[in-house]
């Protein structure tokens, strides 16, 4: 029942309905421009890594949101790939079964087999969205950088967009493998002073660790964990500093439907959440196309 909570309060929904006929032209134009970017054709599949420095920041939620947006707007295939070694929540958010599919895929030559041999081993979630759920702690101790290179990277050739939900942190061998093969990164951090500082430290680490090229193709998402966070002057200032370094940033407001922690229901998301999800997907793809 908690999953049926609407992201907006009844009062806010009524107010939005009353002003809808008078929505500013700039809002409509911005949505149209974002939609055009999301539908932008790609010659080779684009891999977008979604990372977070700690658990509970909203990483899997953002990964599920943008994967759903891509699947809704695009005509080619979209993959949601869960490589969280701690059994991430991406499958739950998308309503996908959590099963050990990577073990099956490791027996295939993913650089040569047709998609028809791969598809039965994936979870199909809609007309154009497929998911590869978590590994359930197997594969000789869990997902590793070598396994990701052998499975995740060649698997992405079947898809226009592959959204990879990583585990918490960015410094492990697995994270290095994901980041080194990503066309863009969405870094999710809490909309707090500490979250902004952690984002800065993460980007500094990337520069020092040889990921300088990916820094300019990174979008930081400040995710509010409560209705009272996410609008502070500190977060706005952090966004300005990131912009000076060529890094984009977006604020994701608190949403009661997201906070329920169950399967995402687009019909119940707050209006601001739907708009922001489209903006994040569009900007992530725009940066991925710069690679």
CATH 3.40.50.300 fits 2-288, yes or no: yes
Residue 235 confidence (pLDDT): 81
CA distance 227 to 248: 23
- What is the per-residue pLDDT across 21-51, written as a single tens digit (0 to 9) for each? 444 445 556 777 888 889 999 989 999 999 9
Q: List pLDDT tens digits, range 155-203.
A: 999 999 999 999 889 999 999 999 999 999 999 999 988 999 999 999 9
Residue ranges of domains in the chain: 2-288
Q: Compare 7 and 268 and report the one with higher pLDDT.
A: 268
The answer to whether the CB of 272 falls within 8 A of the CB of 6 is: no
DSSP string for 105-172: HTTS-TTTS-HHHHGGGSEE-SSSEEEE---TT-TTTS--HHHIIIIIHHHGGG-SEEEEEEEE-S-S
pLDDT at 124: 93
- Sheet (strand 78-82) strand order: 123-124, 129-132, 78-82, 161-168, 46-52, 184-190, 218-223, 248-252
Exposed/middle/buried for residue 180 (C-beta within 10 Å: 0-12, 13-18, 19+): middle
Specify the pLDDT at position 11: 45
């Amino acid at each position: 029942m908690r999953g049926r909570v609407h992201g907006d309060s009844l009062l806010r929904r009524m107010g939005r309905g009353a002003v809808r006929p008078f929505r500013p032209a700039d809002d409509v134009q911005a949505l149209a421009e974002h939609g055009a970017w999301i539908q932008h054709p790609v010659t080779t599949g684009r891999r977008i890594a979604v990372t977070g420095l700690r658990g509970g920041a909203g990483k899997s939620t953002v990964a599920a949101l943008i994967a759903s947006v891509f699947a809704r707007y695009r005509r080619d295939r979209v993959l949601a790939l869960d490589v969280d070694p701690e059994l991430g929540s991406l499958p739950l958010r998308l309503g996908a079964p959590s099963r050990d599919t990577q073990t099956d895929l490791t027996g295939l030559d993913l650089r040569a087999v047709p998609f028809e041999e791969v598809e039965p081993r994936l979870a199909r979630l809609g007309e154009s969205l497929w998911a590869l759920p978590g590994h359930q702690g197997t594969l000789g101790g869990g997902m590793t950088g070598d396994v990701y290179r052998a499975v995740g990277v060649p698997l992405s050739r079947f898809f226009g967009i592959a959204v990879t939900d990583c585990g918490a942190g960015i410094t492990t061998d697995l994270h290095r493998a994901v980041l080194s093969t990503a066309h863009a990164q969405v870094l999710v951090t809490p909309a707090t002073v500490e979250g902004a500082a952690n984002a800065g430290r993460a980007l500094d680490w990337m520069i020092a660790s040889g990921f300088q090229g990916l820094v300019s193709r990174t979008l930081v998402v400040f995710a509010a964990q409560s209705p009272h966070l996410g609008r502070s002057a500190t977060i706005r200032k952090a966004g300005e500093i990131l912009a000076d370094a060529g890094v984009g940033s977006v604020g994701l407001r608190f949403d009661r439907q997201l906070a329920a922690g169950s399967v995402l229901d687009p019909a119940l998301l707050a209006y601001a959440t739907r708009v922001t999800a489209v903006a994040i997907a569009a900007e992530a793809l725009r940066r991925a196309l710069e690679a």
